[in-house]
Amino acid sequence: MILLIGPHLLVIRRDNDPAIPWPGRLDFPGGGREGAETPLDCALRETEEEIGLHLVRDDVAWRMWAERPHGPVWYFAARLEEHRADDIVFGDEGQGWFLMPPHAYRDHPSAIPHFADRLQDFLDSAA
């Protein structure tokens, strides 16, 4: 889930575990579906599990899917008011979270490349 909180992008620093994809990189909340969960329900659940923010469907301002080597992947984005940063409670996955300007993520050497592309798609759609 691409989350803009006020003017800033929320990112999570992934664990440095070499057994996971993109170890140590800057990530967005998200993960795999459980059972018959829809892609959106998955994104909402993962966001709450990873950073403690409860979002509802109406919070989601953008969505798209893209074909990846292992199959189609859904991407979602929400814009939240700046005060929602006070509600963040970091879960037990990753090394921590922080807020950064969206353009800084796109250009950051630790950004996950296809996430940077989706962030740009979202920003372009809002322009």
pTM of the model: 0.94
Residue 82, SS3 per DSSP: helix
Q: Would you list the domain boundaries of the chain?
A: 2-126
CB atoms within 10 A of CB 36: 6
pLDDT tens-digit map of 15-70: 999 999 999 999 999 998 899 999 999 999 999 999 999 999 999 999 999 888 88
Instruction: Collect all residues with Cβ–Cβ distance below 8 Å to 44 and sequence separation of at least 6.
Output: 1, 55, 56, 57, 60
Note the pLDDT of residue 127.
Answer: 67
H/E stretch holding 110 reads none
Tell me the per-residue pLDDT of 67-114, one tens digit each, with 9 for 90 and over. Answer: 888 888 999 999 999 999 999 999 999 999 999 999 999 999 999 999
Give the domain 2-126 fold: Nucleoside Triphosphate Pyrophosphohydrolase (3.90.79)
